[in-house]
Every structure is written in structure tokens, then in C-alpha cells.
A = this chain, B = another copy of it.
Amino acid sequence: MLSHAATLAAVIPACGMPADPRCATNLDAGVNLRASQRIADILKLLSTTLAPQRRLVHAGELVYQAGEHFGNLYILNSGFFKIVTLSPDGREQVVGLKFRGDWLGFDGIAHGSYSCDAVAMDTGEVWTIRYDALLSACADQRELLTVLHEAMSREIAHDRDSLMSLCTLPADARVAEFLRYWAESLAKRGLRTDEIALRMTRAEIGNYLGMTLETVSRALSRLARDKVIGFASKGRRDVLIPSVAALSAFVQRCLSPAPMLQ
């Protein structure tokens, strides 16, 4: 059994869902520990070399705003944030979610002004770094430039993943994948994933995933019915995720039209 799993892993190295869920948990534990440590290291590096201005923000407050003159990049030390763009004709769209260690404001570099709003979804700490000061510091410290480019690269790669999910997954799978990504993000920051507090309304989730709030609600109900997720005792805002692997499995099940139970 173990050897079979090992063979599978060798054949499909990029596959995110090994046969044995416990195996995945153990593997991921190591990966997440390293990721969590790396985020901490980077924050420490930035803190010591740049002495960023620290700012506490509360739910609903803006880190920066569309149209505002670009001059700073922001790094999240804690909290959860959403990136919202507003089109000229009034369409509003959540285009990103940000966690501890993530950078904000890259979109401003090219245009000279930010093209979106960055909104706190709960209380958090934001570090402000002047872009020109960062560039100066990068001249001395190559490590800093590497960190910056990695952050931008990761954002580009992740946006492409989002595009893929939007284009290829049916609604139920998109919701499951959304929860999986949220749980993964928490895990990579050393946080619990068995009970997560989505700080977004169904409408916000739906907006982010390109569907209506009713469809989100139905998808969540279906996930709960299939025991892939649960709801916390108080309210249905907090989601219980017994197994992140089960979420991945649900996504795959949506894609294979073969064995659809009832």
C-alpha cells in the first residue's frame, strides 16, 4: 500500500492529492512549516533593513485606494485583505485576497497610481515601505531584490491559477477550490485550517468567484451535505474543514462526469 502510494507520487509528481490523506497531511506539514518560517524570515528582513512604518487597520478600512498617487508598497504582517477594482462603468470586482506576508500595491508601479482598492477584512497590521527607499536598499542588498521579485512573480502565477479556475471549473468546484486555497493560505502561515472564519459575505465570495450569492450558498450547502465541510455551531459564517484533501477530491469529482452519486 505504501509502496503503491510512493509509485503514484513518483509518476505524478505535480499531483496535489496523494492516495493516503494522512500521508498528505504529514507531507504538507513540512511544506507549510517551511513556508511559515520563510514568511517570518522575510518579514524580519524587511523590518530590520527598511524599518517600515507600521499601521493598524480595522475591518473596512482602506490600505490604499484606486487613483491614489503611487509611492508605497505595503506588506501585511497580520490580518486579511481584499483587492477590489471598480471599472469606469461601475462594475465592482474582488480580484484578490491577501494574507500575512503578502505585498500590496504592485499594480501602481506601472501606472503611477493604484488601480484598485485594498480593503482590510478584519483588524490587521500593515507595513508601509516607500518604493524608492526599497529600490535604494535593493542596490545594497541583493537578497531584498530577490524577495521583491519573488513576491511579484508569485502574484502573477497565482492570478493565472485563478483564471484557470474561473474558466474551467463549474460553480461547486470553484467554491471548493476557493475554500481549499484559503485553507492552504492559512496553513502556509502556521494557522489552523480545521475551522476557518471567512470574513466575506456570500455576495463577496460570489463576486470573487464569478457567480451569484445564491449559487455560493447552494454550493456550500452541497459541500456540507457531502460532509466535505461543516458549519460551526454559531452561525454559518465559520466553516469546518476536516480534510483539505477532501476538498481537492471534491474538485476532481466535479470534473470527472463519470461517477456522479444521484
Residues of A within 8 A of B (CB): 12, 14-16, 83, 85, 87-89, 91, 93, 95-96, 106-111, 115-116, 135, 138-139, 142, 145, 149-157, 159-164, 166-168, 207-210, 252, 255
Whether the Cβ atoms of B110 and A157 lie closer than 8 Å is yes
Residues of B within 8 A of A161 (CB): 85
Whether the Cβ atoms of A87 and B159 lie closer than 8 Å is no
Bound CA–CA A96/B156 (angstroms): 11
Q: With A16-B88, A95-B160 known to touch, is A106 a contact of B166 (CB < 8 Å)? A: no
Q: How many copies are assembled?
A: 2
Whether the Cβ atoms of B207 and A115 lie closer than 8 Å is no
* The residue from B85, B88, B207, B252 contacting A89, defined by CB atoms under 8 A apart: B252
Bound CA–CA A48/B86 (angstroms): 40
Whether the Cβ atoms of B115 and A157 lie closer than 8 Å is yes
Residues of B within 8 A of A116 (CB): 160
Whether the Cβ atoms of A255 and B89 lie closer than 8 Å is yes
Bound CA–CA A185/B32 (angstroms): 41
Whether the Cβ atoms of B159 and A156 lie closer than 8 Å is yes
Bound CA–CA A168/B91 (angstroms): 7
Whether the Cβ atoms of B12 and A160 lie closer than 8 Å is no
Bound CA–CA A111/B167 (angstroms): 23
